Amino acid sequence: MNPSSAEHERTSRGANENAGIWALGNGLVSTTLISFFAQSLGAQSGAISWIIAAPKLVGVLRWFAPSLLKFGGGYRITSVGPFLLSTVFLLLLPLSSVPGIWPSPSVAIAAIVVCWCMYHLAEYCGYVVFIAWLMQLVTPEIRGRFFGLRERWLTAGNLAGFLFAGILGAALRNGFEVDLRWIAYPLLAIFGAFAIGFSVLPLRRIPEPENDIPPNLSLIEDWKYWSRPRARWFLLYGTWFSAANGLFSTLLYIYPYRALDLSLFLPLTMAASMRLGQSIISRPVGVTIDRFGWRSVMICGQVLIALGPFLFSFGTVGYVAGNLIWIAYALINVALPIAIVDGRHDRSAAPPLALYFAWTGLVYGLTALAGQLVADFFVSTQYRQDSASYDTYFIVATLARLSAVLPLVLLPADRKRHTC
C-alpha cells in the first residue's frame, strides 16, 4: 500500500498530536511520581521494586495484542479502546489510597501497584496495535523521519508534563500540612488521566489501511520471524539491556529520595530537561537513521546512556549530569520500532512488535524484582542516606548497561541500506 501525500499528512498530524497530548499525561503520571507517592505512604525498597517491575510482568500479555484486531473491528477502535481503559485504571489509582478504604498502608500500597499494572497493560496493548497501524501507512524509506518527528512531539509533551507536575507538585506539597502532603501525588495522577483520555481524539485523522484483513496470529509464525540470525541477535540485545536495566533500577529511584534528600521538583525538572534535549535531537536522529541505518545509531545511543549511573555517583551535580546524558535515549527510542520490524510494511509487523515488547518487558520485570536483592547486597538499608555508599552499585550498573552494546556490534549485516 502506497498512501497518498494527503493520507500521509493526515497520518503524521494525527500521530503527532496524539503523541504530544498522551505524553503530557504520561509526564504527569511518571514512575518517579508513583514511587514518591508510595514512599510517602511508607513504602520500602520491596514495594518500589514492585512498582517498577509489576507493570512489565503483566505486560507480557501484550504478545496477544494483535489478536484484538480479530474482535475489535479495525486498528482505530482496537487502539482507542485500550487507551481509554488505561485512563480508567489511572483514575482508580488515587482512589485506592484514600484513608479509611483499606485496613493498612501496606494494603493501600498493594492497591496502587495493582492499578499501576492494569493501567500499563491496557496502554501496552493499545501501543502495539497503534505502532503496527502506523507501520502499514509509513513506507520504510521515510520511517526514520516520521518516527523522529513523532518522538519530538512525545518528548515535548513529556517536557510539559514533567514541568507542570514539578511546579504544581511543589506548590501543592507546600500548601498541605506535613502529614497530608501525599495528597499532591494522586491529584497529579487525576490530571494525567484526563490528558491521556483526550489523546485518542487525534486518532480520528489517521486512515484505516485498505488491506484491512485479519493477520496471521500463529505463534509458530511469530517464532519463525525471530529464528533468523539477525532477529535473534537483536532480541538478545533487548534481553540483555532489559536485564541490565531491571537488575540495577531500584536504587536509581531511592537514591534521589533517600541519599540526596531531593523534593519531587528536581527529579521532574531533570526529566523535563531530558525530554527537551530528546525533542531537539529526535528529528535529526530520524534523518540519520534513514541515511545510515538504525544499528549505528543504536550503538552510539547505548554507549552514551550506559554512562548515566556512573555520573550519579557524583552527588546532586552528577544526578543532574546523568539525567542530561540520557538525552541520548532519543537515539534508541526513534530507532527501536524501525529495528524491530526491520523493513516490514504490512500486517506482519504486528507480531514482532508484540513479541519483542512482551518478552523484554517480562525480562525487565523479573530482573527488577531481583533488583531488590541486588540493591540490598550493594547498599544495606541503614546506609542508604549516605550517598557515598552507592558508588560501587553505580559502577556495576554502568558496566552492565555498557556490555549490552555487544549484540548490536555483532549483529549480522543487512543488504538493505535503510535497515542496516
Domain membership flag for residue 209: no
State pLDDT tens for residues 148-173. Answer: 889 889 888 888 887 887 777 677 66
Report whether pLDDT(25) > 60. yes
Q: Write down the pTM of the prediction.
A: 0.69
Domain membership flag for residue 352: yes
Domain membership flag for residue 214: no
Range from 27-36, 99-108, 216-225, 340-349 carrying the lowest mean pLDDT: 216-225
Angle at CA of residue 3, ends 147 and 24, nearest 5°: 35
State pLDDT tens for residues 303-315. Answer: 999 999 999 989 8
Domain membership flag for residue 74: yes
Q: Is 227 exposed, middle or buried (0-12, 13-18, 19+ CB in 10 A)?
A: exposed
- Give the pLDDT band of residue 419 (cuts 50, 70, 90): very low
- Give the pLDDT band of residue 210 (cuts 50, 70, 90): low
The CATH number of whichever domain residue 69 belongs to comes to: 1.20.1250.20
From CA 29, how far away is CA 194, in angstroms rounded? 11
Domain membership flag for residue 247: yes
| Average pLDDT of the segment spanning 112-128 | 88
Half-sphere exposure of 92 (CA within 13 A, CB side): 16
Report whether pLDDT(418) > 50. no
236-240, long-range: CB within 8 Å, 24+ apart, which pairs?
Answer: 236/407, 237/404, 237/407, 237/408, 237/411, 238/356, 238/359, 238/360, 238/363, 239/359, 239/360, 239/363, 240/403, 240/404, 240/406, 240/407
Domain membership flag for residue 154: yes
Range of the domain at 370: 5-203+219-419
Domain membership flag for residue 171: yes
Domain membership flag for residue 212: no
User: How many domains, the chain?
Assistant: 1
